[in-house]
Amino acid sequence: MRRSFVTVGFAVLVGASIVQAQSQQQAQAAPPAQQQAAAPAQAAADPLKFTTDTAAIFFSVNPDKTADFEAGYKAMFAALAASTKPGMKELGASMALHKLAAPPQPGQPAIYVMWIANPSKDFSYVYGKILYYSGKEPGDKYDGIFEKQEDATAAYTKLKDSIVSINPFPLTKIVG
């Protein structure tokens, strides 16, 4: 009984994650050279800056780009683990990336889940902000987790080109 409840619940979340995220490109913080000169009158809230004690991010990934997606996140996780910038090791340690064990149906995206235990309240989980600005709001110069901006750009490109949609789920523990 519990197993079917978990399976049905997971299927509902996966179904919700396939919905196209309209603002994905805007939410992923472009490199400094691509920042727009004029700032919007009122910035939208960052959907990947969590205030809850647990969160999950569902990624729909082009099935032919899963290796790029995984390589982009592996590079980012390695840079976070090696970072000397305040809070970056902890940011990396809060995340675990999982792939749905079942292969995607033909023509459907692969599903990945980023499980975030004790999310940072100070930094965003937007991959572009992490890569280029160490999880802070975009600025006019590179302040990322890699020593060289070119390495951040390589990881950013792999992620940007592989992701179909991103769906964040801030979670509140009820029981257990």
Q: How far is CA 137 from the centre of its chain?
A: 15
Handedness of CA 15, 119, 78, 31 (dihedral sign): positive
Burial class (CB in 10 A: 0-12, 13-18, 19+), 63: middle
Other CB atoms within a 10 A radius of the CB of residue 66 amount to: 16
- Nearest partner of 96 among 110, 67, 117, judged by Cα: 117
Q: Alpha-carbon distance 159 to 63, whole Å?
A: 13
- Check residue 32 and give its pLDDT: 67
- Residue 23, token pair as written in the block: 């603002």
Strand partners, 99: 112
- List the domains of the chain with CATH numbers: 48-171 (3.30.70)
- Check residue 24 and give its pLDDT: 46
pTM, entire model: 0.78
- Residue 128, token pair as written in the block: 């572009």
Q: Alpha-carbon distance 22 to 81, whole Å?
A: 31
- Check residue 43 and give its pLDDT: 67
- Check residue 8 and give its pLDDT: 34
Other CB atoms within a 10 A radius of the CB of residue 69 amount to: 21
Q: At what angle do helices 149-162 and 66-82 cross, to 10 degrees?
A: 140
- Check residue 135 and give its pLDDT: 79
* DSSP element (H, E) containing 168: strand 163-171
Per-residue pLDDT of the chain (176 residues; tens, 9 = 90+): 444 333 334 443 444 443 334 344 344 666 665 554 444 556 688 999 999 999 999 999 999 999 999 999 999 999 999 999 999 999 999 999 999 999 899 999 999 999 999 999 999 999 999 999 987 878 788 989 999 999 999 999 999 999 999 999 999 999 98
